[in-house]
Amino acid sequence: MSEPFSRHAKPAVAVDVVLLTVAEGALKVLVQRHTDRGLVLPGGIVRIDEPLEAAVARVLAQKAHLPDAFVEQLYTFGAVDRDPRGRVISVAYYALVPAERLATALAAADDLLLAVMDGIEVRAPSRLGYDHADIVRVAVERLRAKIDYTAVALELLPAEFTLRALQDVYETILGVRLAKPAFRRKMLDRGFLKPTGRLETGGAHRPAEIYVRA
Amino acid sequence: MSEPFSRHAKPAVAVDVVLLTVAEGALKVLVQRHTDRGLVLPGGIVRIDEPLEAAVARVLAQKAHLPDAFVEQLYTFGAVDRDPRGRVISVAYYALVPAERLATALAAADDLLLAVMDGIEVRAPSRLGYDHADIVRVAVERLRAKIDYTAVALELLPAEFTLRALQDVYETILGVRLAKPAFRRKMLDRGFLKPTGRLETGGAHRPAEIYVRA
DNA sequence: CCAAAAGTGTTGCTACTACACCCATGC
DNA sequence: GCATGGGTGTAGTAGCAACACTTTTGG
């Protein structure tokens, strides 16, 4: 692939990934320790012959050992001074993954951790570098908006789940308590879910039915 | 501003603008004649020290003599082969403008014209170059989605307008006929509109009240 | 008075909320 | 049996669509 418009100095193009998951009743973001910038989102420079989605997949595979995940483009951040090293335009993506799928990656890489969200702000353990807190904010706002007219929440759960688990995901993301009967009926009416007929076991109460994605 | 990551070949970054307007009962998009690519969207390369929104404003000012307009980021298109001259990543924006504001620009520049939309596809007078038809499709889908939970439609009308004119804009964009009483009440209940008390004149029928944005 | 379009009132349906209740399990 | 959480039924309400109707202008 040739290099066009080479008379002008060019910005660098990066992708940054906001990988969100729900664990222990909280929304969390995958971040990585950066030597002199504190915590930052996983990301990387887009190669000259690499599609944007391929760059995202590469970042996810390298950093989080995730060969596949739900990924969607979020927004492109292009402020001139967002990176002190020079002009870097970042095409941000967000990814949704069930918490279980991150366990091995977190155990293997000691520079990765899950930062806890407090509403739409990253709270623990510290602020993010660059404009990455802004990017996370936009990602959570997008997720909150999408959650109640699409089935994206299912990306945060394993293949089989109960309605209670799904409701917990909604309540965690939206930061509100929802009424159980209304939630049940809304979800079932939409047709995103399919009952398996099988039941959960182990609780000291009536076992819940197990659902899968329709 | 320095140039980081200069060991690698970099993609060029461009902005492309989908400027939409409603005129003569049709949704139209501003396009420009390109010497060897047919019709294309107005756009330009982002300068090394220029924010993305500034590049958009520059394009709109140069091409359409619009110093200000409603503009929102749409999506970033990064397919490797989308431009045969080389790797160009395009951050697409859409803009909404009342048709009257385009009259002078269209009269002055003979390489600009308004292509007519047929649903979400550009119809007349011919196909667009590059992947610009895809970009327009995404823009119209976004507009259709936003129109019924935000006040963006008002950007397509002059400062003062009647409910009938607003309904025409909705019907044109969505491609459906709407019921007048339902439309009236929905718009008024939302609080986007403010009645002026003044009435339209001239029609051979009861004059309509004039509204402005709330 | 008539045509045309603006604007209103009324009814019925749908969807969501709130609340009360019943069901199945472990202990 | 009791505590716990899963699951259902029902009644009230808010929003929206359909339809019929009234109002105000020009001719």
Neighbours of B17 (CB within 10 A): 28
pLDDT of residue B175: 95
A146 pLDDT higher than 80: yes
d(CA B10, CA A204): 60
d(CA B125, CA A31): 49
Q: Work out the percent of chain B whose per-residue pLDDT is above 90.
A: 86
Q: What are phi and psi of B37, to 5 degrees?
A: -125, 5
d(CA A18, CA A140): 9
Neighbours of B179 (CB within 10 A): 10
d(CA B37, CA B129): 5
A78 pLDDT higher than 70: yes
d(CA B38, CA B87): 20
pLDDT of residue B188: 94
Neighbours of A76 (CB within 10 A): 23
d(CA B149, CA B144): 10
What are the residues facing B128 on neighbouring strands? B39
| Mean of pLDDT values over B159-187 | 96
The owner of tokens 């025409």 is B168
CA A201 to C1' D9, whole Å = 26
Backbone angle region of A146, left / alpha / beta, with phi > 0 → left and psi within -120 to 50 → alpha: alpha
pLDDT of residue A4: 58
d(CA A200, CA A211): 10
| Mean of pLDDT values over B163-186 | 96
Strands A193-199 and B26-34: unpaired
Distance from CA of B75 to the nearest CA of A (A): 7
Neighbours of A108 (CB within 10 A): 10
Confidence of residue A21 (pLDDT cuts 50, 70, 90): very high
Distance from CA of B162 to the nearest CA of A (A): 31
Predicted TM-score of the model (pTM)? 0.94
Can you name the CATH fold of B158-214? Arc Repressor Mutant, subunit A (1.10.10)
**What stretches of chain B show up as alpha helix (H) in DSSP?**
52-64, 103-108, 132-147, 163-174, 180-190
pLDDT of residue B2: 47
Confidence of residue A139 (pLDDT cuts 50, 70, 90): very high
B1 pLDDT higher than 80: no
B13 → closest Cβ in A13, A50, A83: A13
Same fold, A1-156 and A158-214: no
Q: What is the pLDDT of residues A83-131, one digit of tens each?
A: 999 999 999 999 999 999 999 999 998 899 999 999 999 987 778 999 9
What are the residues facing B58 on neighbouring strands? none
pLDDT of residue B125: 75
Token digits for B201?
């004149």
Q: What is the pLDDT of residues B97-119, one digit of tens each?
A: 999 999 999 999 989 999 999 99
3-state DSSP assignment of residue B89: strand
Q: Interhelix angle for A180-190 vs A163-174, to 10°?
A: 110
Q: Which of A31-40, A70-79, B111-120 has the lowest mean pLDDT?
A: A31-40
pLDDT of residue A83: 95
Mutation for testing the A interface, residue in B5, B85, B91 having most A CBs under 10 Å: B5
Strands B12-23 and B88-96: parallel
Can you name the CATH fold of B1-156? Nucleoside Triphosphate Pyrophosphohydrolase (3.90.79)
d(CA B38, CA B40): 7
B6 pLDDT higher than 90: no
Chain B residue numbers with beta carbons less than 8 Å from the beta carbon of A131 are none
| A11–B45 C-beta distance less than 8 A | no
Average pLDDT, chain B: 94
d(CA A137, CA A121): 6
Task: Name the B residues in 88-127 with CB < 8 Å from any A CB.
Answer: 88-89, 91
A2 pLDDT higher than 60: no
d(CA A75, CA B142): 14
Distance (Å) of CA A181 to CA A146, A147, A152, A196, A212: 21, 18, 21, 20, 19
Q: What is the pLDDT of residues A160-202, one digit of tens each?
A: 999 999 999 999 999 999 999 999 999 999 999 999 999 999 8
Give the residue on A whose Cα is nearest the Cα of B77. A52
| Mean of pLDDT values over A37-65 | 96
pLDDT of residue A107: 92
Question: For chain B, how many residues are written?
Answer: 214
d(CA B181, CA B68): 34
Domain residue ranges in chain A: 1-156, 158-214
pLDDT of residue A6: 62
Residues near A168 by Cβ (< 8 Å), separated by ≥ 6? Answer: A22, A25
Chain A residue numbers with beta carbons less than 8 Å from the beta carbon of B50 are 80
| B1 touches A at CB < 8 Å | yes
Average pLDDT, chain A: 94
| B46–A3 C-beta distance less than 8 A | no
Token digits for B92?
């697409």
pLDDT of residue A3: 55
Neighbours of B106 (CB within 10 A): 15
| B8–A49 C-beta distance less than 8 A | no
Q: Where are the beta strands (DSSP E) in chain B?
A: 12-23, 26-34, 38-40, 43-45, 70-77, 88-96, 112-118, 121-124, 193-199, 209-213
